[in-house]
Amino acid sequence: MANILKSNNKGSLIVLSGPSGSGKDSICERLKEYNDNFWVSISCTTRKPRKGEEDGVNYYFKTKDEFEKLIKEDDFLEYAKYNDDYYGTPRSKVNDYLNKGFDVILVIEVQGALKIKHIMPEATFIFIMPPTMKDLVLRLKKRGTETDDKILMRFKKAYQEINELTKYNYVVVNDELDKATKKVNSIIEAQKCMVDKIEEVYLNNPEEEIHELLIDNKIFINKDVNL
């Protein structure tokens, strides 16, 4: 029997953001263990690569001049300047994967996420929180990639970003990585069942036959009726 619901096969856009040090990248990496039908958008940035990061894998690393040229060419779905560095999401790649039926995850800064919300309000917005601000500082220090002045700048920025969490659909506290990842995955799965995913509700011929049988009360007296 045919399914009574016809769903839109286009993928969903999931926006994952939060303060630097909240663990959004770690959650995104761990999600691969739970879900293989998503694509993590690779952002462009002008910041310097951290140890172990590769161009085209973690980010597309650009010079400031290269980035600003792409801005003029309208090549970004969104872009933002954060701590003197640019970050941006390539438009064409995101649309391509969505149209292929993949869920696309954007791991972006809060400023960029709010820009996405203006142009794509149907996306799912998840805010990742550290358990405490003390934990946030410890995580930033543990990286060992930034100066104390840079850490202080990120810490002050985190307070501003946390004030924006009410503009998101969900908030997940990353106190334990596995637990937080499972929550994010549950949100991604739940949004597939949203009513606005339904393209059409229809009753085909078999359902109409059942309807007629119910009306005539035949379905209760004829044991040979095959549903």
Radius of gyration of the chain (CA): 23
- Give the tens place of pLDDT for each residue, 3-22: 665 666 788 899 999 988 88
Stated as kind and residue range, the H or E segment containing 159 is: helix 148-162
Q: How far apart are CA 111 and CA 82, in angstroms?
A: 8
- Give the tens place of pLDDT for each residue, 156-213: 888 889 999 999 999 999 999 999 999 999 999 888 887 776 666 665 556 566 666 6
More confident residue, 220 or 91: 91
Q: Look at residue 144 and give its three-state secondary structure.
A: coil
What average pLDDT does this structure show over 20-48?
89
In the prediction, which pLDDT does 16 show?
Answer: 95
Three-state SS annotation for 65-92: HHHHHHHHCCCEEEEEEECCEEEEEEHH
What average pLDDT does this structure show over 47-68?
92
Q: At what angle do helices 133-143 and 148-162 cross, to 10 degrees?
A: 140
Unique residue bearing structure tokens 């973690």: 58
Q: How far apart are CA 43 and CA 15, in angstroms?
A: 13
Categorize the per-residue pLDDT at 54 as very low, low, confident or very high, splitting at 50, 70 and 90: very high
More confident residue, 112 or 179: 179
In the prediction, which pLDDT does 174 show?
Answer: 94
List the chain domain ranges: 5-41+102-221
Instruction: List CB contacts of 169: < 8 A, sequence separation 6 or more.
Output: 124, 125, 126
Answer yes or no: CATH 3.40.50.300 is held by domain 5-41+102-221.
Answer: yes
Give yes or no for residue 123 having a pLDDT over 90: yes
Stated as kind and residue range, the H or E segment containing 198 is: strand 198-201
In the prediction, which pLDDT does 159 show?
Answer: 86
